[in-house]
Amino acid sequence: MRLKQIAKYENFFIDYQGTLKDAIVKMNLNRNGSVVLIQEHAPVAILTQSDIINALGQKIDLTIKAYQYATKLLVYINEHSSFEFALKVLSEHNIRRIVLVDRHQHFSGVILQETLFDHMGEDIYKVGIQQEIDKQIAKRLEEEYLLMQQSKLATMGEMIGHIAHQWRQPLAQLGGVFMNLDSAYEFDELDRDYLKERIKEGNKLIKYMSHTIEDFRNFFVPDREKEQFELSQYIQSAMNIIEAALTYYHIEVEVITPNEPIYVTGYPSEFSQVILNLLDNAKDVLIEREISSPKITIESQSHGEGAIISIKDNAGGIDEKIIDKIFDIYFSTKLKKGGSGLGLYISKLIIERKGMGKLHVSNGEEGAIFSILLQSDNIKI
Residues in the chain, overall count: 381
| Mean pLDDT (whole number) for 99-125 | 68
Residue 287 has pLDDT above 90, yes or no: yes
Tell me the C-alpha distance between 359 and 347, whole Å.
8
Residue 225 has pLDDT above 90, yes or no: no
User: What percent of the chain is modeled with pLDDT above 70?
Assistant: 67
CB-based burial of residue 102 (10 Å sphere; 0-12 exposed, 13-18 middle, 19+ buried)? middle
pLDDT per residue as tens digits for the range 43-87 = 777 777 777 777 776 666 666 677 676 665 567 788 778 777 887
Q: Poorest-confidence range of 58-62, 156-160, 292-296?
A: 156-160
Tell me the C-alpha distance between 353 and 141, whole Å.
9
Q: What pLDDT score was predicted for residue 158? A: 59
DSSP strands (E only) in 70-180 = 76-78, 97-101, 107-112
pLDDT band for 8, please (50, 70, 90 cuts).
low
pLDDT per residue as tens digits for the range 368-379 = 999 999 875 555
Q: What pLDDT score was predicted for residue 175? A: 82
Decide which of 199 and 5 is more confident: 199
Q: Mean of the per-residue pLDDT values for the chain?
A: 76
Q: Are 298 and 254 in contact (CB under 8 A)?
A: yes
Q: What pLDDT score was predicted for residue 222? A: 58
Handedness of CA 191, 197, 200, 204 (dihedral sign): negative
Tell me the C-alpha distance between 84 and 124, whole Å.
12
Q: Poorest-confidence range of 62-66, 138-142, 279-283, 346-350?
A: 138-142
Q: What pLDDT score was predicted for residue 335? A: 43
Residue 157 has pLDDT above 90, yes or no: no
Q: What pLDDT score was predicted for residue 336? A: 46
Q: What pLDDT score was predicted for residue 362? A: 94
Q: Are 7 and 108 in contact (CB under 8 A)?
A: yes
Averaging pLDDT over each range in 12-16, 20-24, 109-113, 289-293, which range is the top one? 289-293
| Mean pLDDT (whole number) for 208-226 | 66
Q: What pLDDT score was predicted for residue 314? A: 95
Tell me the C-alpha distance between 379 and 305, whole Å.
8
Q: What strand order describes the sheet that includes 263-266? A: 227-230, 263-266, 379-380
Decide which of 277 and 167 is more confident: 277
**3 state DSSP class of 101:** strand
Decide which of 142 and 273 is more confident: 273
| Mean pLDDT (whole number) for 219-224 | 58
Q: What pairs with residue 361 in β-bridges?
A: 370
Q: What pLDDT score was predicted for residue 308? A: 92
Q: Poorest-confidence range of 283-287, 290-294, 333-337?
A: 333-337
pLDDT per residue as tens digits for the range 230-268 = 899 889 888 887 887 888 889 999 999 988 888 888 888
Q: What pLDDT score was predicted for residue 296? A: 96
156-186 and 231-248 helices cross at what angle (nearest 10)? 70
Q: What pLDDT score was predicted for residue 338? A: 47
Q: What pLDDT score was predicted for residue 303? A: 77
| Mean pLDDT (whole number) for 212-218 | 65
Q: Are 307 and 376 in contact (CB under 8 A)?
A: no
Averaging pLDDT over each range in 146-155, 250-259, 322-331, 332-341, which range is the top one? 250-259
Q: What pLDDT score was predicted for residue 122? A: 46
Q: Write down the pTM of the prediction.
A: 0.50
Tell me the C-alpha distance between 312 and 282, whole Å.
8
